[in-house]
Structure 1
Amino acid sequence: MPVYFYWGEDDFTLKQAVKQLQKRVLDPQWQAFNFEKIPGELEDATRQALTQALTPPFGAGDRLVWVVESTLGQHCSEALLERLALTLPQIPPQCHLLFTSSKKPDGRLKATKLLQTQAQVREFSLIPPWKSDELVAQITGIAEDLGLPLTHAVANFLAEALGNNTRQIWNELEKLKLLASSDCQPLTVEQVRPLIHSSTQSSLQLAEALRQGNSAKALQLVADLLARNEPALKIVATLVGQFRTWIVIKLALESGEKDEKVIASRADLSNPKRLYFIRKELQGLTSKQLLACWPLLRDLEWQLKRGADPARTLQTKVLELSLLFKG
Structure 2
Amino acid sequence: MPIYVYWGEDDFALEKAVTLLRDRILDPLWISFNYTGFPPEQSDAVIAALNQAMTPPFGAGGRLVWLNNTTVFQQCPDHLLAELTRTLSVIPENSVLLLTSRNKPDERLKSTKLFKQLATEYREFPLIPPWKTELLIQAVNQAAQTVGVRLTAKAAEVLAEAVGNDTRLLYNEIEKLRLYAEDGNQPIEVDTVTLLVRNNTQNSLQLAAAIRTGDTAKALTVLADLINAAEPGLRIVATLIGQFRTWLWVKLMMESGERNSQAIAQAAEVGNPKRIYFLQQEVQSLSLRQLLSCLPLLLELEFSLKQGFGEISTLQTKVIELCQVCRRN
- Helix, strand or coil for the counterpart of 2:65? strand
Q: Determine the structure 1 residue equivalent to 2:5.
A: 5
CA offset at residue 246 of structure 1? 0.7
1:311 aligned onto 2:312: yes
1:121 aligned onto 2:109: no
Q: Determine the structure 2 residue equivalent to 1:196.
A: 197
Distance 1:70 1:304 in 2: 25
1:58 aligned onto 2:25: no
1:209 aligned onto 2:210: yes
CA offset at residue 319 of structure 1? 3.5
Q: Is the contact made by 1:69 and 1:99 (CA closer than 8 Å) also made in structure 2? A: yes
Q: Quick one: structure 1 residues 320 and 258, their matched pair in 2 at CA, closer, same or farther if it must change by over 3 Å?
A: same
Q: Quick one: structure 1 residues 280 and 153, their matched pair in 2 at CA, closer, same or farther if it must change by over 3 Å?
A: farther
Pairing of 1:229-268 with structure 2 (within 5 A): 229-268=230-269
1:149 aligned onto 2:150: yes
- Helix, strand or coil for the counterpart of 2:165? coil
Distance 1:296 1:40 in 2: 35
TM-score by length of 2: 0.89
CA offset digits 1:243-275 (Å, max 9, x no partner): 111111211122122444443332233444443
Distance 1:25 1:300 in 2: 44
CA offset at residue 295 of structure 1? 4.2
Residue ranges of structure 2 left out of the alignment (5+ in a row):
none
CA offset at residue 303 of structure 1? 5.4
CA offset digits 1:124-145 (Å, max 9, x no partner): 2222322222222212111111
Distance 1:299 1:102 in 2: 23
Pairing of 1:287-326 with structure 2 (within 5 A): 287-301=288-302, 304=305, 309-326=310-327
Give the stretch that moved more between structures: 32-41 or 303-312. Answer: 303-312
Letter in 1 for 2:9: E
CA offset at residue 109 of structure 1? 0.9
Q: Determine the structure 2 residue equivalent to 1:71.
A: 71
Q: Quick one: structure 1 residues 85 and 239, their matched pair in 2 at CA, closer, same or farther if it must change by over 3 Å?
A: same
TM-score by length of 1: 0.89
CA RMSD of aligned residues (A): 2.5
Q: Determine the structure 2 residue equivalent to 1:33.
A: 33
Give the stretch that moved more between structures: 110-119 or 81-90. Answer: 81-90
Residue ranges of structure 1 left out of the alignment (5+ in a row):
none
Distance 2:145 2:184 in 1: 16
Q: Determine the structure 2 residue equivalent to 1:220.
A: 221
Give the stretch that moved more between structures: 37-46 or 186-195. Answer: 37-46
CA offset digits 1:294-323 (Å, max 9, x no partner): 344345445556665443443343334334
- Helix, strand or coil for the counterpart of 2:89? helix
Distance 2:306 2:70 in 1: 27
CA offset digits 1:80-131 (Å, max 9, x no partner): 2122122222223222110111222212111011111111221122223222
CA offset at residue 20 of structure 1? 0.7
Q: Is the contact made by 1:40 and 1:46 (CA closer than 8 Å) also made in structure 2? A: no
Q: Is the contact made by 2:2 and 2:95 (CA closer than 8 Å) also made in structure 1? A: yes
Q: Quick one: structure 1 residues 54 and 224, their matched pair in 2 at CA, closer, same or farther if it must change by over 3 Å?
A: same
Distance 1:198 1:134 in 2: 18
Q: Quick one: structure 1 residues 83 and 181, their matched pair in 2 at CA, closer, same or farther if it must change by over 3 Å?
A: farther
Distance 2:320 2:150 in 1: 42
Distance 1:305 1:33 in 2: 40
- Helix, strand or coil for the counterpart of 2:73? coil
